[in-house]
Structure 1
Amino acid sequence: MKKKKKQLLLTSFLCLCLLGQAQENQQKNAFAVSFGSPGLGLEYARKLTPKLNAKVVWHSLKIEDYEQEDVKVKDDLVDILANLEVSIIDLGIEYLPFKNSSFKLTAGIGILNKVNINGVVTYNEDIVFGDVIIINKDAGEIITDINWSGVAPYLGFGFGRAIPKKKLGIGIEFGSYFSSSPKVDLTATNLLESTTSQKENLQEALDEFKMIPRIQIRLAYKF
């Protein structure tokens, strides 16, 4: 009788092990939460082969009314009020070149729904022209609006699999989007209205800003 019980327990244990192994082999999906330069990210990943994973990520970031005071521009002190809004969808591939390493290479495209920087510049102190004093609030303000849009390929590398070996996994990625030049809009009011003539110069200065950094820390859950 005891022998039959032992055999039954052993059989049950083996069945559980095989079931667990089968479930492990079927777990080819993962959900991840990330945070980094593109903002908060929600990610779904699917294993294609032992070395290749596909993933879709939605990034979102919004910073409102970030104020920086006493910024020196030439001989003047100005205050800057900035806003940042980011909404990007990534469609990418992750390649794991080494079997026993979590090192990976990533590539894909980012759909730049909205990458916008808006800034309002005002004088910090009154403006003096000889005997004439202009109150800083009457001088006006300069408003800049910078937008990246369209589809941008990205490349990167990192550590931590999109589909972790265990139930939970942590990862980090470094890379960059390669976008077109941003579109710049420049407006000004009151005495600063003539500043709008510098719009083309500002556009030319930002023509080189075609790389948007992509740095993320991820926490993934396999299912």
Structure 2
Amino acid sequence: MKKITLLYLTLFLPFLCLAQSQESQSAALPAYRPGLAMAIRAGTAGIGLDVFKSIAPRFTVRVGASLFSYKGLLTSGKQTDDIQIGFDYRLKLASINAMADYYPFKRAGFRLTAGLFYNLNQLTFDGTPMKEVKFNDVIFSKEQVGTINGQANFSKLAPYAGLGWGHPFRGTKLKFMVDLGFFYQQSPKVTLVTTGMLEPSSDQGPVIEQNLQPLKYYPILNLGLSYRL
């Protein structure tokens, strides 16, 4: 009887070990809990909020919005130049996005992302002379020199591609999130309004558009936290 018992143990021990190993591996996989999650983030697109919806363990969708604005002053040329223009500019970052995330690995939060931005990014600037201008012993006031005001607008619809880290529906409720990618907003369209002696500069729009062309591929780097509801 003892020999038969030992024989059964010998035959079934490998299967018991295999079952225990599989159970251990299954337990190590972070639990998938579908539902909704919210995320707050900050980065090159501004400060934003996202809402995630689980579709499958490896697939989620989300919608979000971002907003940020920045003001500054730039000057053209040097103080010793005959004409020096000071530009008050305002950069407005605003967008609404719809994204789909795919998680190729079961045990990692790595994801591939594609989506679409409704893009409201805009750059405006108002240029005025920093000083009076002297030309052939004639002094022209700032008002006579004139002003140059402009606006740069981008394509409203911008496709997005990127990658990231953080699965809001696996493991703990609170997760660290990273997004890295770019959206294609095409080259900007610049409009200029000039007055006074600066009026001939109104045809410089295409030159400014050329200088801003690298912005058509707008880089996205976001860091944030998600919380499963």
TM over 0.5: yes
- What amino acid is the match of 2:195? T
CA RMSD after TM alignment = 2.3
Which segments of 5 or more consecutive residues in structure 2 lack a partner in the other structure? 1-30
Aligned to 1:151: 157
Contact 1:139 1:191 in 2 (8 A): yes
Residues 106 and 121 from structure 1, CA distance in 2 versus in 1: closer, same or farther, beyond 3 angstroms?
same
Aligned to 1:20: none
1:26 and 1:160 map into 2 onto residues whose CA distance is 14
1:178 and 1:104 map into 2 onto residues whose CA distance is 20
What pairs up with 1:167-178 in 2 under 5 angstroms? Answer: 167-178=173-184
Match of 1:45 among 52, 59, 67: 52
SS of the aligned residue for 1:149 comes to coil
1:95 and 1:126 map into 2 onto residues whose CA distance is 60
Identity of aligned residues (%): 26
Of the structure 1 ranges 139-148 and 160-169, higher mean CA displacement relative to structure 2 is found in: 160-169
Q: Does residue 218 of structure 1 match 2:219?
A: no
Contact 1:111 1:151 in 2 (8 A): yes
Aligned to 2:111: 104
Aligned to 2:42: 35
Q: Does residue 72 of structure 1 match 2:73?
A: no
Contact 1:86 1:115 in 2 (8 A): yes
Residues 192 and 71 from structure 1, CA distance in 2 versus in 1: closer, same or farther, beyond 3 angstroms?
closer
Q: Does residue 129 of structure 1 match 2:135?
A: yes
Which stretches of structure 1, 4 residues or longer, exceed 6 Å deviation after superposition?
Answer: none
SS of the aligned residue for 2:77 comes to strand
Aligned to 2:204: 198
Of the structure 1 ranges 155-164 and 44-53, higher mean CA displacement relative to structure 2 is found in: 155-164
2:168 and 2:144 map into 1 onto residues whose CA distance is 55
Structure showing greater radius of gyration is 2
Residues 26 and 191 from structure 1, CA distance in 2 versus in 1: closer, same or farther, beyond 3 angstroms?
same
Match of 2:122 among 116, 122, 134: 116
Residues 117 and 70 from structure 1, CA distance in 2 versus in 1: closer, same or farther, beyond 3 angstroms?
closer
Q: How many residues align?
A: 197
- What amino acid is the match of 1:155? A
More strand by percentage: 1
Of the structure 1 ranges 122-131 and 179-188, higher mean CA displacement relative to structure 2 is found in: 122-131
- What amino acid is the match of 1:68? L
Using the size of structure 1 for normalisation, the TM-score is: 0.78
1:222 and 1:174 map into 2 onto residues whose CA distance is 22
**Structure 1 residues 34-79: Cα deviation after superposition (integer angstroms, max 9, x where no partner):** 112221211110111212111111112233xx23254437945432
Contact 1:53 1:162 in 2 (8 A): no
1:106 and 1:25 map into 2 onto residues whose CA distance is 19
Contact 2:32 2:171 in 1 (8 A): no
